[in-house]
Structures are given as structure tokens and as C-alpha cells.
Amino acid sequence: MIPTYQDFLEADDVTKFVESAIGTYKLSKTYKTAKLADEYDAQRNPTVTKTIRTLFDVQGAKVTDRTVSNHRIASNLFNRLNTQRCMYSLGNGVSFIDPYEARDGETDTTKEALGQHFDHIIKEAGYHALIHGVVYLLWDVNEVYEFKATEVVPLDDEVDGSLRACIRFWQLDSSKPLNAVLYEADGYTTYQTVSGKLQQVSEKSPYAITYQYTNVDEMVPTSEDNYNALPVVRMYGSRLKQSTLVGMQEAIDAYDLILSGFANDLSDCAQIYWIVENYGGMTDDDLKQFLDRLKLNHIANADTQAGGKVTPYTQEIPYQARKAFLDDLKARIYEDFGALDVHVISAGATNDHIDAAYQPLDENAADFEHWVSDAIVQLLALQGIDDSPVFKRQRISNQKEQVEMLVQEAAWLDQNTILRKLPNLTPDEVNAVITANEDEDMDRFSVGSEAKSEEGGAI
């Protein structure tokens, strides 16, 4: 059982508690599932890669069959599906102002407060929140940092379940030192293994330290401060608060095993083989020489008077049944995950058909965006900012149909609305066109005013 924040408060030796908590967490279901998800994400399906084809000998013992092919094909379905869900919501980044309503030269001050790498970090965090079920975001002075579920021990409050502290740990490999950082609301403490034993290597430090140069060019701390809460925020990938691998693993395993078995059968089955009758006196070398001559000359001598007979046979692989099952299984995986298979959208499909195909993805995106938004709002609260993010989803559409609809509605719409609804223009391009049109109108108005003034003066 993963230790809680109350267990941490009751610990007599914090260093031993940190070491024990890390060991206990590595045995937890959350950690093991996250490590397994990493394998599927890297297209290393452990179920397939560890598969060994076996047979039973005459004594009934199970032995490895080394005479058959053993192709191990792992699909990229897990990575593909999670990438689609993440990038559908976060592919265009996160903003805090409506890009269509932004005035010329207006900057997104909230976005700037989160650091210049925020969009990249939130995409990485969103993806890991999906495949691991949860991810952690650290706000450090002016940047956001991501910690995966495979490197954080959460210390939750036993009463309200909130995250009160956490331990981040990492290790290059088993021969290298284990590093750990204990994050609390009032500061952080670092630890490292020395001679195989975890030891505290620094005193508790505040999160925000202000430095100032002295007359001899030395930097000295002038003030120390902490935030109003723990600067580590937990972000889930869905309301289930679990890895997307749960429920998908068996279906992906079945798909990969059938695909691998299909490849093995194709390798093991000869395109053509011969049955040689009444040639029992031939040795293996004779049979090999007979087969080589057949391949080379496509003809061989057979003593038919003695009853000899050579009959060619071909072997067909059951292709259609397996292909149909693989297609059905893939469609089921997409349906259960709530993803969009672009192959089901035919060329020239109407926007109604496209919207219907996107419906499951939209539903899951709304759930995903809720948890991403909740984590971002908590990050902003640490800085005293009250704002909420805006997501712009990436999707395909029948642009020709959209333009035709706008043409029909143009009589009832103003020019700015028409420009903003054009599917082939980005928000920046729309604002540029609106500004250019306004400048042209101003120039036209100025020229017209000058002409009227000259005409009046002549009279």
C-alpha cells in the first residue's frame, strides 16, 4: 500500500521513510501499469516479444520448436490512438484569449506567465497523463516541469485525498546512484544513495530565492519565499484516473498475435511441394538432388513403369478469414477507445457525416480537456492569476461545403463574421485581412473627402 501524508508526518526517520516509500511504490499497480504502458508506447508489445512457439515430443514434454518461423510483429496502435486524442485537443497549443477577438498587437499575458516552453510541456504531460493515467506538474519560479507517474510517489491526505507532498526519484540504471527530492509546501529536500545507502544531501530549501550581486561580483541570497500551496499539481488523463492501456491490452495483444501468426504461416508454408511415391530407396541427398533438378529444369526422370509417381501440390493460407477478423478487431479497438479512423471517412463526405465520425472523439476530448484545464488553473492559482485555458481542436472538414454555406448566408452576415468562418484562413490571417480592409476603407474615405473639399472650393 502506497504511504500517505499522515504516514510521512508520523515517520521518525524521514530519510528511511523516503527510501521505503520509493520501494513500496515500485510494487504498486500504478507504477507497474505505467511501466507496461511505456513498452506498448514504444511498440514493444511484451506479450508478442516473449512468445515462443513450442511443440510436444514423444514423451509429452513441451519443448521449443526451432524448425518454424517466429515473427514477432508489434503494432503501433497504442501510440497512434493516444497521440490522436492528445493532439486533437493540444496540437494547437493552449491560449487564454479568443484568437478571433484578440486586438491587433494584443499579447496573451497569462500564457507568457507560464513560460515560453509551456505548450511543449503541456503536450508531453497530456500524453503521459493518458498512457500512465496521471502526471505531475511542478511550478518552479517561471517555468513548468513535468514528472511522469514512473518517477513520483504521491503523498495524499487520508482525509480529503489532496496531494500534500510527493517524492520524485530517478536513476540512470541499477549501477548508478538513486536520486530523490522530497517536495513539501514549505520547501524541498534532496537525497542520494551513497555507498548503497540513501542519504540526505541538502537541507530543506525554499522554492523562490532572490539573489543579488555584491561589489565583488558575488551572488548572495537576499530573500527566500514559498508559494501558498504545494507547487506540484496532479493532472489526470480522464475521469477514470487510470492508464488507457487498461481494457485495451488484450485487444492489442490479440491483434499483434494474429498478425504475427499470419506472417509465420506465410514463411513456413512452401509455395509448392511434391509427393514422391514408390521411391523409398532414395536417401535424403537423393531427394534434395531430385528437388534441385525440378527447380532448375522444371522436369525430372521418373520410372513410371515401376509405379513411380511425382505429384505437385500447392498450399493456400486462409487469408480472407484472418484479414476480416483483423479488420473487425481494429475497428473494435478504435470504437472502444473513442478514436477516429480516417479510413471510414470517404472522399467528398459531407460535414454531417464528418461530425458524426468525430462524435466519440469529441466526447473523450471534453473529458480530457476538463482535467488538463483543472491542472492549469491550479498552476495559475500559485501565481495569483485567475484565468482558464481555451482549446482549439484539430479536425478535418469539407471546406468546399462550408464555403458554399457561407456564400448562401452572406446576405445576412457582416464581412468580419464571414472571414472568421472561412475554414482555410487561420485566426492571424483573418485579423490581417480585417486590418487591411479597414485601412483600405480609411484610404477610400480620405480620398473621397479630399475630392468633395476640392469640388466645394471651386464653387
Residue 427 neighbours by CB distance under 10 Å: 16
Domain residues of the chain, as ranges?
A: 5-236, 249-344, 398-459
For the cut 90, the answer to whether the pLDDT of residue 366 exceeds it is: yes
Q: Pairing mode, if any, of strands 163-170 and 179-184?
A: antiparallel
Q: Which residue has the cell 516479444?
A: 49
Question: DSSP per residue over 135-179, as a string?
Answer: EEEEEETTEEEEEEGGGEEEEE-TTT--EEEEEEEE-SSTTSPPE
Asked whether residue 55 carries a pLDDT value surpassing 70, the answer given is: no
For 38, residues 6+ apart whose C-beta sits below 8 A from its C-beta are 131, 150
Q: Which one, of 184, 181, 110, lies nearest residue 381 by Cα? A: 110
Would the pLDDT of 190 be above 90?
A: yes
Cα separation, 49 vs 39, whole angstroms? 11
Report whether pLDDT(120) > 50. Answer: yes
Q: What is the pLDDT of residue 299?
A: 66
* 352 vs 163: which has the higher pLDDT: 163
- Residues 60-84: what's their mean pLDDT? 78
Count Cα neighbours of 97 within 13 Å in the Cβ-side half-sphere.
Answer: 15
Mean pLDDT value across residues 145-150: 97
> Amino acid identity of 327?
D
Query: In the β-sheet with 134-140, what is the strand arrangement from edge to edge?
Result: 143-148, 134-140, 232-236
**Mean pLDDT, rounded, for 259-273:** 68
Answer whether residue 364 shows pLDDT above 90. yes
Q: Is the pLDDT of residue 102 over 60?
A: no
Q: Is pLDDT at 167 greater than 80 in this prediction?
A: yes
Average confidence (pLDDT) over 138-167 = 95
Residues 6+ apart with CB under 8 A from 27: none
Q: What is the DSSP letter of 339?
A: -
Q: Please, what is the average pLDDT of the chain?
A: 82
Q: Tell me which of 292 and 124 has the higher pLDDT.
A: 124
Q: What percent of the chain has pLDDT over 70?
A: 73
Residue type, 397: S
301 — pLDDT class (breaks 50, 70, 90): low
The grid cell for 169 is: 526519484
The count of other CB atoms within 10 Å of the CB of residue 103 is 7
pLDDT value at position 168? 97
Residue 240: pLDDT over 50: yes
pLDDT score for 219? 65
Neighbour tally for 457: CB within 10 Å:
7
Greater pLDDT, 436 or 9: 9
Give 418-429 pLDDT, tens digit per residue. Answer: 777 777 776 667
* Alpha carbon distance 171, 71 (integer Å): 34
Take residue 423 and report the three cell numbers written for it. 475554414
Judged against a pLDDT cut of 60, whether residue 386 lies above it is answered with yes
pLDDT for the residue numbered 458: 45
Report the alpha-carbon distance of residue 350 to residue 110 in Å, rounded: 38
Grid coordinates of 199: 542519504
Distance CA 251, CA 249 (A): 6
pLDDT, one tens digit per residue, over 226-239 is: 888 999 999 999 99
d(CA 208, CA 227): 8
In angstroms, rounded to a whole number, what is the distance separating the alpha carbons of residues 70 and 55? Answer: 13
pLDDT at residue number 305 = 54
Please count the residues of the chain: 459
Q: Confidence band (pLDDT; 50, 70, 90) for 459?
A: very low
Phi/psi region, residue 3 (left: phi>0; alpha: psi -120 to 50; beta: rest), is beta
Average of pLDDT values for 147-160? 96
